[in-house]
Structure 1
Amino acid sequence: MNRLTLVHLTFLSVGKPPAAVEFSPGLTVIYGASDTGKSYIEESVDYMLGASELKSIPEDEGYSSILLGLRVDDGRTLTLCRALGSDTIEVFSGDLRDVPTQPAEATLKYRHHPKSKSNISRYLLNVMGIDGRRILQNSRGDVVPLNFRDLARLAIVNDTRMADKRSPVLGSWMPQNETKEKSVFKLLLSGQEEPVRPTAPSNLQKQVGKGKIDLIDQLLDETRERLSVEANQTQLRDQLGRLQATLANATAAAGQVAAERSAVVRRRRELEAADADTQQRASEVQQLLSRFDLLRQQYESDLARLQMVGEAGTILGYFQTGTCVFCGAEPQHQHPGHRLGESTQLAAAVAAETRKTTELHHDLISMIEDLESQAASLHEDHARHTEQLEGNDQELQTLDQRLEPLNTDTAELLETRSRLERELALHAQIDQLEDLKASLSAAPPAPPVAKADGIPAADIADFEQVMSQTLEAWQVPGDNRVTYDPTTAELAVDGRPRKSRGRGMRSVIHAAFAVSLARRNQARGFIHPGFVVLDSPVLTYRRPEDNKEEDELLAYDVVKNFYSDLLDNSAGQVIVIENGTPPKSVRDRAAVYAFSVDGSTRQGFFPPLDSSW
């Protein structure tokens, strides 16, 4: 994994000189009088790495933005830029010491969000190669992704937390955070993230589960009441099997009769169609006969009239005198035999017309006889069709009588089958409800409480040994036998809990904890930011007027050995903020900033208000 190294912290303003410190990749010591901005440097570093706020001091008035340079193990250099009071942090490539003029590589929110990468926490974790590592959130087993702030609180220790009675493992006094804070320490010591495990049901989930069981019981009672057949599922399935066989036979028999009936119906339709054609043809023949009979009567009337005309003409030709009845000639114009000639001509005309009408009459009589023959044949066909249809009706009646009981039996069988199937469906529903109830009632016991203190004993022993060696190197009085209780997260030295020690000793033990964790994890390739910032680890307070080196709360040898160990045994990058003056040997081997002490060139982190630039 990559580790981070702090390069510089720079405050910028228009019209004011920059306020800056440059950090050594090894040891940086910032010491001097109180109220000179030392702790403000630590707070500003924390602010640039995602802290929510930076409390203002009079000296920062007029400064608008802060730059924090970072160097990554893979060789990259980054600069974080954040305006005072801003919720966003801009990231630039390279080591910037002035107001950025190029576009930001990324603009990030300061607040961590597990589902978004647009925040400084996810960005830095990704740079380090550990984004997404899981830690335990609570005793129910819920896991959440690691937050860079979880690492920052172990690496950046302000003066209040340094001497606090609370364990260095725990970052707050809120009990609900203990599981998570212990899990972070477990991740750093063992390198193993928390697995995703079944979570224990909450009280609400338990109440919901009980409510589900009550509802299932109610549904079971209602379903059982709907059962109407006193038989179990096996008996019902046997009955249904037998019923299906009977139903198949009944259906086959009914189908055969229905097929016969369909054939009869089809023949009946054919007969009805043929009889309809016969009746239509008979009707047409009858209409022709009626018309031809009228024509026959006309022909016969015409023949009678012709005969009468012929006879009348003969009589008139012989006996009538005067005007000719045939041509209208007066007697004086008539020649001898005139009437006889006219009579003969009339007789010839009548004879010709009679012959013609007689021929037509004979043809008509022949056609009438033929039509009457057709009518008789059609009548016979109709009678035959009627007889066949009556037989067909009788056959259909017989088939309907055969089909009626079969249909009745089939309907009863189908109704019985539906009832059995409904009963089986109710039994299946009861089984499902009982299985669901069993799964809720006989649910596996809640998983054991997830413990963030389940750190392998070998890792605890390893850390205890490294911390004991650190205290021994600092020559803290005593045997310096360190023990860590993973249940309470309490550290004890020589059997005495840290919280029971004095303020100065609590600070030294906390400093040894932070340094040892960085040193151990760097050596073993485990997770760690790569830097440690310690505010007042070996001296709690020093007044500006107290410039004597011996005016310190701990023995001078402990202070001297503290710095020597940090120089000789690498713990990565360590930044120490103290009131007390470090030994002279440190000043030659570390980056040292002295604020408001004899011989110092700086009154504090910020230039004096009246300084020109």
Structure 2
Amino acid sequence: MNKFGIEINKLVLQGAGKQDALLTFEKGLNVVAGASDSGKSFAYECINFIFGSTDIPEIPNEAIGYESVFLEFFDKAAKQKITLKRSLKESEKNNIFYIYSDIDHLVEANYEVLSNDSKAKNSLSSKLLALFNCHYRNVLKKTSNGETEAFTFRKFVYLMMLNESRIVQKNSPIYMGDTRRDKTSSKEVATFFAILSGFDYQKHVKLESAEVKKAQLKGAVDELSLICNNLRVEIAETENLIQGYNTDQINERIANLDSFIKEQRLIVVKHEEERERSVQRLNSLANEKSRIADNLSKFRLLKKNYQSDIDRLEFIEQSHDYTGQLAEMKCPICNTTMKSTNVDKEIYYIAIDKEKSKLNTHLTDLQETIEDFECDLTEISKSIVEEQSKVKYIENILDEQANKISKTVLDYENYLKIRDKAVEIQKNRKKLYDTTARIEELSERIDNTKSVTNKVEIKRLTDELMLEFCKLIQVLLEDWSFITKTKEQQVIFERKSNDVVVCNKTKASYGKGARAIINSAFIISIMKYCVERGLSHPGFVVLDSPLTTYKEKDRKQNAKNEEVDKSVKDSFFYSLSRECNDYQIIIFDNELPPNDLTNITYHHFTGNPEIDRTGFIPN
């Protein structure tokens, strides 16, 4: 038995100034029965709506003013109560609140806002599928081309909830309607067998049609043809440019020019080295000239100083002669005769002569040194002029070599371009050949392209497994006293209609009441089959009016009618109360269960405001 799934606990409607409309449910059999027009179908539609139906339920007059639907359920795997909340307003219906709490403690609880759109990243569908370990991703939509669509929670809803219209339909209950068009839908059949087998489908990758492939190939051929045309034009233009040349002549000329350029460059290198040596000598001479000129300037200044010293000595000597000729005079202040000191003048003159002689000797030596430096400076200046002439001469040779090499390089590059053009012609011819071959290949593929089908068969159960499924239905129908108990197989699955044949009669040949019983057994058996084998299933079934017949309406329409026998109705309730301890079954019906029935959660709607509970909506 599954340890995962959903167990519905409460259905609540709330609105401003309105008393809560409440239905409680438990594990096992739950019956909401009583008078017509008491809100049973409305309650069913509210459950359908909270589980992701696109359409807001048709609001009866007594329910006007209710704004939100709440559904509390028990998450078996997490052992936690969850509440879903959805607005009945058109503008707010797309957001569904997933609240981690029971209904009585919503205020302080954490919640998520889910989208009703199954394609949304945070969708209600993905959240609910995870609750019962359902990892199906895709289901087959069309067998003709293998197209698939996403497997959503709503796929399960159609196979675990039957409203009062679908429960009596002639088509198999796996279909969403009772028309011929519904009967040809592949996706409902694929969904049914995916749920029973536990295998979904790989996502469909759309194949291109033969026409599209041919158009693509033709487009490629046209593009390649244009490339071929451009190549031919380019080859012709290039051949005109190199007309008169052949490859051997071009290569020989390039080799000769390359050799000549290398020789000339060696000559240039030799002259450059010679120029470098001349420049170094020139720099050395310039430095020597600067040194000599600097020393010469210093010596000339020294010569000037010597001459100044000699002039000073001569001045002193002359001044001494002049002072000796002065007469003695009395002091103008004290009228005392001034006494002069007797000095040996001869010694004085000898000292001056010696000093002058010494300076003249230095001056003579200095003059000779200056003259030597001046000679050296003249020689160096001549050498500098000679080196400068030599450098200029070498530079002229280098300029001539550069011009010669430049002209040769231009010629060399021109031949290289010619050789490249020749190589380009060869490459383009190879490319033209390959492209032409590709065009022929694609043209052949166009001729051989045919329509390809990607037909995919529905993954059906084996006959043995379908027999086990039918046995579950037969056991229910026998327990409900709908058919007589026997060891023989009375229920078989017909592949063409994807429905059961009961006692050799197609379901469509039965009346409405009998069809409702058979369809109910079919849906309940899907749940039992999955739960017993550990396959994904929410673990509950909701049925609307499985026992109610519309005898008067059938008679007016002259339709075949078959009212369900009272013993069948009672057996129906007794059987489900015993057998569904591991599941949850919720039934909305006009028919009342037997008074002595146990193991049942029962809500009785009287339809009379003066007697007990009138209906789903409080009085």
Superposition TM-score, scaled by structure 2 size: 0.67
Mark the CA change 1:219 to 1:473 in structure 2 (over 3 Å): closer, same or farther: farther
Alignment partner, residue 128 of structure 2: 124
* Aligned twin of 1:575: 586
1:592 equivalent in structure 2: 602
Q: Which residue number in structure 2 is paired with residue 84 of structure 1?
A: 88
Structure-2 separation of matches of 1:244 and 1:464: 90
Q: What do the CA deviations read for 1:223-274 (whole angstroms, capped 9, x no partner)?
A: 433552899xxxxxxx999999997997577446424423323423554675
Q: Measured at CA, do residues 466 and 418 of structure 1 come closer, stay the same or move farther in structure 2, by a change above 3 Å?
A: farther
Give yes or no for contact 1:8–1:22 (8 Å, CA) kept in 2.
yes
Q: Is the 8 A contact 2:228 2:436 kept in 1?
A: no
Contact conserved, 1:188 with 1:521, CA < 8 A, in 2? Answer: yes
Aligned partner of 2:138 among 134, 138, 141:
134
Counterpart mapping for 1:543-582 below 5 A: 553-570=563-580, 572-582=583-593
Equivalence for 1:525: 534
Match of 2:206 among 196, 199, 222: 199
1:606 aligns with 2:616: yes
Q: Provide the rounded CA distance (Å) in 2 between the counterparts of 1:496 and 1:227.
A: 81
Does structure 2 retain, via aligned residues, the 8 Å contact 1:253–1:406?
no
Quote the Cα distance in structure 2 between the aligned partners of 1:242 and 1:113: 76
Distance, in Å, in 1 between the alignment partners of 2:159 and 2:443 is: 45
Q: In structure 1, give the amino acid aligned to 2:51.
A: L
Q: Mean alpha-carbon deviation: is it higher for 535-544 or for 248-257?
A: 248-257
SS, match of residue 510 in structure 1: helix
The change in CA–CA distance for 1:70 and 1:445 in structure 2 (over 3 A counts) is farther
Q: Identify unmatched segments of 5+ residues in structure 2.
A: 239-245, 293-358, 554-560
Give me the whole-angstrom Cα distance separating, in 1, the residues matched to 2:119 and 2:444.
Answer: 33
1:482 paired to 2:492:
yes
Q: Is the 8 A contact 2:15 2:66 kept in 1?
A: yes
SS of corresponding position for 1:159: coil
Q: After TM superposition, list the pairs within 5 Å mapping 1:242-281 onto structure 2.
A: 254-255=261-262, 257-268=264-275, 270-271=277-278
Corresponding position of 1:536:
545
- Mapped contact 2:520–2:546 kept (Cα < 8 A): yes
- Determine whether 1:163 maps to 2:168: yes
Counterpart CA distance in 2 for 1:37 and 1:430 is: 82
Cα distance, 1:68 vs structure 2: 1.8
Matches within 5 A, 1:456-471: 456-457=461-462, 459-471=465-477
Q: 1:495 to 1:262 in 2, by over 3 A?
A: farther
Whole-Å separation in 1 of the counterparts to 2:20 and 2:141: 42
Moved more, 257-266 or 144-153: 257-266
CA drift at 1:536: 2.0
1: CA distance between counterparts of 2:491 and 2:214? 49
Q: For the residues of structure 2 that align with 1:93 and 1:410, how far apart are their CA atoms?
A: 82
Distance 1:255 1:391 in 2: 19
Q: 1:23 aligns with which of 7, 19, 25?
A: 25
Bigger shift: residues 19-28 or 243-252:
243-252
* Matched ranges for 1:62-461 at <5 A: 62-74=65-77, 75-85=79-89, 86-87=92-93, 88-96=95-103, 100=105, 102-109=107-114, 111-117=116-122, 119-130=123-134, 133-136=137-140, 141=146, 143-171=148-176, 178-196=185-203, 198-201=205-208, 209=216, 212-213=219-220, 216-228=223-235, 254-255=261-262, 257-268=264-275, 270-271=277-278, 408-409=411-412, 411-417=414-420, 420=423, 424=427, 448-449=453-454, 451=456, 453-457=458-462, 459-461=465-467
Q: Helix, strand or coil for the counterpart of 2:531?
A: helix
Closer, same or farther in 2 for the Cα pair 1:223/1:382, shift >3 Å? same
| CA distance in structure 1 between the aligned counterparts of 2:214 and 2:120, rounded to whole angstroms | 30
Whole-angstrom distance in 2 between the partners of 1:559 and 1:440 = 71
Cα distance in 2, alignment partners of residues 184 and 494 from structure 1 = 27
TM-score, reference length from structure 1: 0.67
- What is the identity, as a one-letter code, of the residue corresponding to 2:47? V
Structure 1 pair 455–267 and aligned structure 2 pair: CA distance change class (3 A): farther
Q: CA deviation at 1:56?
A: 0.4
**Structure 1: distance between partners of 2:509 and 2:251:** 86
* 3-state SS of paired residue (2:235): coil
Change over 3 Å in CA distance of 1:201–1:402 after alignment to 2:
closer
Contact 1:282 1:375 in 2 (8 A): no
Structure 1: distance between partners of 2:255 and 2:472: 87
Aligned residues of 2:8 and 2:25 also touching (Cα < 8 A) = yes
**Correspondence 1:516 to 2:518:** no
Provide the secondary structure at the position in 2 that maps to 1:189: helix
Equivalent residue letter for 2:583: G
Please say if residues 111 and 121 of structure 1, whose CA atoms lie closer than 8 Å, have aligned partners that are also in contact: yes
Shift of 1:489: 4.7
Cα deviation 1:570-605 (Å, max 9, x = unaligned): 3721122222344455x3342233333899954542
1:11-66 deviations in Å (ceiling 9; x for gaps): 34565543322223111222233211111121111122222312100121333433
Quote the Cα distance in structure 2 between the aligned partners of 1:602 and 1:593. 11
State, as a whole percentage, how many aligned pairs show the same letter. Answer: 20
Change (3 A) 1:175 1:159: closer
SS in 2 for 1:533: strand
Match of 1:10 among 9, 12, 20: 12
Change (3 A) 1:368 1:25: same
Q: Could you tell me how far apart the structure 2 residues matched to 1:36 and 1:379 are? A: 134
State the 1:562 CA deviation.
Answer: 3.3
Write out per-residue CA displacement over residues 534-573 of structure 1, whole angstroms, 9 at most, x where no aligned residue: 11223333789xxxxxx97123444344334423433721
Q: Which residue in the other structure is 2:557 paired with?
A: none
Deviation per residue, 1:180-211 (Å, 9 max, x gap): 43332232011112224543237996587357
Task: Give the corresponding residue for 1:506.
Answer: 515
Instruction: Please say if residues 14 and 69 of structure 2, whose CA atoms lie closer than 8 Å, have aligned partners that are also in contact.
Output: yes
Query: What SS is found at the alignment partner of 1:417?
Result: helix
Q: 1:469 to 1:176 in 2, by over 3 A?
A: closer
- Distance in structure 2 (CA, Å) of the matches to 1:246 and 1:78: 92
In structure 1, C-alpha distance between the alignment counterparts of 2:430 and 2:475, rounded to whole Å? 73
RMSD between aligned alpha carbons?
5.5
The runs of 5 or more residues in structure 1 that have no matched partner are 232-238, 286-355, 545-550
* CA distance in structure 2 between the aligned counterparts of 1:242 and 1:33, rounded to whole angstroms: 112
